[in-house]
Amino acid sequence: VQLVESGGGMVEPGGSLRLSCEYTGLDYDVYTIGWFRQYPGEEREGVACITSSDDSKYYSDALEGRFTISRDSTKNRVYLQMNSLKPEDAAMYYCGLTTTRLLRAFGSRWYDAPFALWGPGTRVSVSS
């Protein structure tokens, strides 16, 4: 299984970006793909994730509804639409994989589930 992120770039505050996570070699029918971000010197933090079975979506409370995760199974991609970007959204963004069973076990703390198979990441910069 391989995940590859794309779509990062530099935008001004208030702008939008759509990140893409393309996955290949995934033979499982039930899985969860999540977006995480990482600031320099810090650990990854959960942004959003989506399940393959029923498209259940989970978000970080800190996003204030500005981001939307979606999935296109025909293209093997998971997207993260980011609107009203703020300077504090600037980070490396990664997508990772976990099983939906593990995700459900963590409940509201979905971001603590053991995601793995991280892609190389895509950088988001927000600056005027």
Mean of pLDDT values over 49-77: 93
Mean of pLDDT values over 112-128: 95
**Under 8 Å between Cβ of 97 and 23:** yes
106 has pLDDT over 90: yes
**Under 8 Å between Cβ of 103 and 49:** yes
**Under 8 Å between Cβ of 67 and 47:** yes
Paired tokens of 87? 């300077």
Confidence of residue 83 (pLDDT cuts 50, 70, 90): very high
